[in-house]
Structure 1
Amino acid sequence: MRDVAILVDGGFYLKRYKKQIDVKQVAKGLLTHCLKHIHNQSENNDRHITEPERLYRIFFYDCPPITKKSHHPITKKAVDFKKSKTALLRQDLHNQLRKTRNVALRLGFLDEKNARWTLKNPERFKDLISGKITHTDIIESDVIYHAQQKSVDMKIGLDIASMAYKKQVNKIILISGDSDFVPAAKLARREGIEFILDSMNAPIKPDLQEHIDGLNTTLSK
């Protein structure tokens, strides 16, 4: 029996997952997505799978939502991020995952001190810089409040290294599309761990493709 750990970059997953109607649906969709990666010998036709697999644990990495208040640069209205739809969904999802069997929630934090309003669409920014549009053309939906994630990538890398060195699993599946995980993937493979990437149909960089054992997603296009 091969033990499989599934590591989910939460921010990446939620951006790619299109059915964010309610927390229960998101949590159920996450579990369904992950468990489809676990191969049962009796139902599997892949010749490369020589023995059945079982789930070791699902690790979900994310950050608590922003809790501060600010004023929207376009409308000048006060915004309480703690009460936003995104924040409430995130909080409820984290609570739901805490109660879910075989799921470990790993939380980093958002750098609220250096958070700022920025344009959501890079193309919109290029148009502004090139003079195709002016600041008066920017509307409310063009801007978002952005805070950099901290500690999430480090926690993913440390967990990969720990499981690899301790031989806790035979296979690691990473749901992400970030090339920052190349060193961790290389380490796991050197330790004899099969490393599969699920980029949820997002394109990945060649250096990441080079250092994984396979690219596979259970997400329908």
Structure 2
Amino acid sequence: MKKKVVIFIDWENLRKEIEKIQKDKKCMHFNKTTLNYNNATHIMALIYSFIEKDDDLQKIFFYTAPPIDMDDNMSASVEIKPRIPQYAKEFLDNIVKQPYVASRLGISKFRGFDEGGKPIFIQKQVDMLLGLDIAHVVYNKLADRILIFSKDIDLVPALKCARTQGVITLLANIKEGFDMNSELMKHSDLIRTRSCENIVSYIASKMQELQK
């Protein structure tokens, strides 16, 4: 019997994990060509590679913050405007058009420069939105399972909430990615792991299907 599953994705956390794996070259086939994190089709294939046969997908919630609008943020120096990536907006427009996907957007804030002169941006409200949506789903019995793409320890209260309501909590784990925090493991039911090779193979098969 299939189980209703809702997926929650902390995009900035997942994007940084992908970026780190590619930078460290932990898997030579897991590169910017085979997995471009600005390509909505690639990211959807990565997500679907974690879905199993007895999962009945209900919804995919995608959490991030849109790129900062320099015209609305006069506290930021004009000189950094050309250094803000514009691809992010196009990616967000594309990902939300995918089946089952709903976006939840926080706010991007400029926080100065690092030692190398690179502008620092932080996301606000994203964790709060994610936690509130998990609570809404579990209290309203909208899922039997929740699958979470994030290794942020701030999720622990939301995981506790889900488990007290009898919902199975699954953490998506890329084998070669960030280490899984022990607190997250303690307050989740299962870890669902895929290797980079598994993910790249799944993406390649999906891309071939689209080309037919």
Match of 2:148 in 1: 174
The one-letter code sitting in structure 1 at the alignment partner of 2:157 is P
Judged with a 3 Å threshold, the aligned counterparts in structure 2 of structure 1 residues 24 and 12 are, in CA distance, closer, same or farther, namely closer
Work out the CA distance in 2 between the residues paired with 1:25 and 1:110. 18
Instruction: Decide whether the 8 Å contact of 1:5 with 1:58 is kept in 2.
Output: yes
Work out the CA distance in 1 between the residues paired with 2:144 and 2:38. 30
Q: Does 1:99 align with 2:97?
A: yes
- Give 1:25 deviation, angstroms: 6.1
State the TM-score, normalized to the length of structure 2. Answer: 0.75
Aligned residues: 177
Work out the CA distance in 2 between the residues paired with 1:91 and 1:167. 33
RMSD: 2.2
Identity among equivalent pairs (%): 28
Gaps of 5+ in 1: 41-51, 72-77, 120-141
- Deviation per residue, 1:69-90 (Å, 9 max, x gap): 526xxxxxx2315x74x2x221
Match of 1:79 in 2: 80
Which range is displaced more, 192-201 or 11-20? Answer: 11-20
Q: 1:148 aligns with which of 117, 122, 126?
A: 122
Work out the CA distance in 1 between the residues paired with 2:39 and 2:195. 13
State the TM-score, normalized to the length of structure 1. Answer: 0.73
Match of 2:60 in 1: 58
Match of 1:32 in 2: 45
The one-letter code sitting in structure 1 at the alignment partner of 2:130 is I
Match of 1:11 in 2: 12
The one-letter code sitting in structure 2 at the alignment partner of 1:116 is G
Instruction: Decide whether the 8 Å contact of 2:138 with 2:162 is kept in 1.
Output: yes
- Deviation per residue, 1:18-43 (Å, 9 max, x gap): 45569796211221121122211xxx
Work out the CA distance in 2 between the residues paired with 1:36 and 1:171. 16
- Give 1:219 deviation, angstroms: 4.5
Judged with a 3 Å threshold, the aligned counterparts in structure 2 of structure 1 residues 65 and 20 are, in CA distance, closer, same or farther, namely farther
- Deviation per residue, 1:138-197 (Å, 9 max, x gap): xxxx33211221110001101110110001011111101100000100110111111111
Larger Rg: 1
Secondary structure in 1 matching 2:6:
strand
Q: Does 1:211 align with 2:207?
A: no
